[in-house]
Structure 1
Amino acid sequence: MPHEHHVEGGRYALSKRLGSPTSQGMSHDTDPTHVADSPSGETGASAPGQNPGNDQDPIRPESGQTEATHPRIQELEAALEEMREKWLRSEAEMQNLRTRTKREVDDARQYATQKFARDVVEAAENLKRALSSLPAPADGEDALITRMREGIESTERSFLGILERNGISATDPAGHPFDANHHQAMAEQHSDEHAHGTVIQAWTPAWTLHGRLLKPAMVVVSKGAPPAAETPAG
């Protein structure tokens, strides 16, 4: 019948548009009634992270975007380097400050008694003067003089030992070159035995406290040999 022919023709046209299983080489898996398992659980859906029709990796920025961020990265790196240099300078300054402070504290501890030490060495010099005022030892001298000398000498040795243990020491510069930093010239005289500028005699020693000068030595300095006497003209 014409109506049936029209229906058959419509089916044939629909089959041509969809493609027959035989002509497309499709298996039973492509049957609309059979849904194949896919990673996404949906028929025909793309896998996560995939963008059909776009080969660009969504995680990797585009080249233009990467180039645009370079100046910002360089700016941050420069700021970081500047902060690092400032930190290093600050650390060096703090270390210098700690060293200087420690040195000042040590000096304050060592030299806090400097004024007292100057007064103490006066007492030591007075003991030396007391010994010098006694007559030289001689046979048959008075026993009282002998005991007095021995007592003063013993006191002087003990006193100098106490000073040494506390960083105070005395130096006799006799026979050494004159040093204006540690010696005070009280007189000059000619000497055949001492070169010019040599200390002939020390009236008092040079006193130091932990190596720092407390009191200079009072000395007599040689002017060298006396000039030769002129021969009178004959």
Structure 2
Amino acid sequence: MTEDTIETDAEALREETAQASPELAEHDRAAQLEAELAEARQAVLYAQAEVQNVRRRAEKEAADARTYAATAFARDILSVADNLARGLQAIPEELRGDDKFKGLVVGLDATGRELESVFQRHGITKIAALGEMLDPNKHQAMLEMPSDQAPGTIVQEMQSGYMIRDRLLRPALVGVAKAGE
């Protein structure tokens, strides 16, 4: 058998099948179209779901960007707050009552209160440390020291830690009670 003969036979068989059962060919075509339609509907549903997921993700990222946009700036300002607090602590009690320094002390105290107010308005809060159990998500243990407190309890705070809303801005640097020997 040659190729021409096989092709001719196949064509004749197709014509014969089409003439013998036009309903069968029409039914097969309808079933094929229904399957294609179902497949297209499924593809559209997947595409819609994907678009919705992308939209939700973009909205969440935009909200996070708005909420935490000031994080880098806030970290930088924390050093200013630390220096101001150290400056206020360094003023001896006898100079606080001196009339020559009273204006300076009052001004520095007011600046410290205003800075705390700004922090609160922007969701920046100080992390509680002294007397708390060490939480590695909020505290960074710098040393262990003997104490009558339970092991793992924070007994000294070297630097305050801060949160910006629900995220860590800076961990508190702390000294922790160690277990008795």
TM-score scaled to structure 1, two decimals? 0.61
Structure 1: how far apart are the matches of 2:101 and 2:127?
A: 28
1:216 maps to what in 2?
Answer: 171
The residue number in structure 1 matching 2:152 is: 197
The answer to whether residue 77 in structure 2 is matched with residue 120 in structure 1 is: yes
- The aligned counterpart of 1:156 is 112
1:75-97 CA deviation, whole Å, 9 max, x = no partner?
Answer: 11111111111111111111111
For 1:72, the equivalent position in structure 2 comes to 29
Other structure's SS at 1:173 match: coil
Q: Which moved more, 1:164-173 or 1:65-74?
A: 65-74
Q: Which amino acid aligns with 1:187?
A: L
User: Alpha-carbon deviation of 1:70?
Assistant: 1.8
Residue 105 of structure 1: which of 40, 59, 62 is its match? 62
2:175 aligns to what SS in structure 1?
strand
SS in 1 for 2:66: helix
1:168 CA drift (Å): 2.1
Higher Cα Rg: structure 1 or 2?
A: 1
The residue aligned with 1:175 is 131
Asked if 2 retains the 8 angstrom alpha-carbon contact of 1:172 and 1:202, the reply is no
Q: CA deviation at 1:141?
A: 4.6
How many residue pairs are counted as aligned between the two chains?
Answer: 161
2:90 to 103, 119, 133: 133
Q: Give me the whole-angstrom Cα distance separating, in 1, the residues matched to 2:109 and 2:134.
A: 29
Identity %: 38
Deviation at 1:159, TM superposition (A): 1.0
Runs of 5+ unmatched residues, structure 1: 1-63, 228-234
The 8 Å contact of residues 174 and 202 in structure 1, kept in 2 or not, is answered as yes
For residues 32 and 52 of structure 2, the distance between their equivalents in structure 1, rounded to whole angstroms, comes to 30
Q: Tell me how far 1:105 sits from its aligned partner.
A: 2.0
Classify the secondary structure of the residue corresponding to 1:188: strand
Aligned-residue Cα RMSD (Å) equals: 2.4
Which segments of structure 1 move beyond 6 Å, counting only runs of 4 or more? none
Aligned mates of 1:156, 1:201 — CA distance in 2: 22
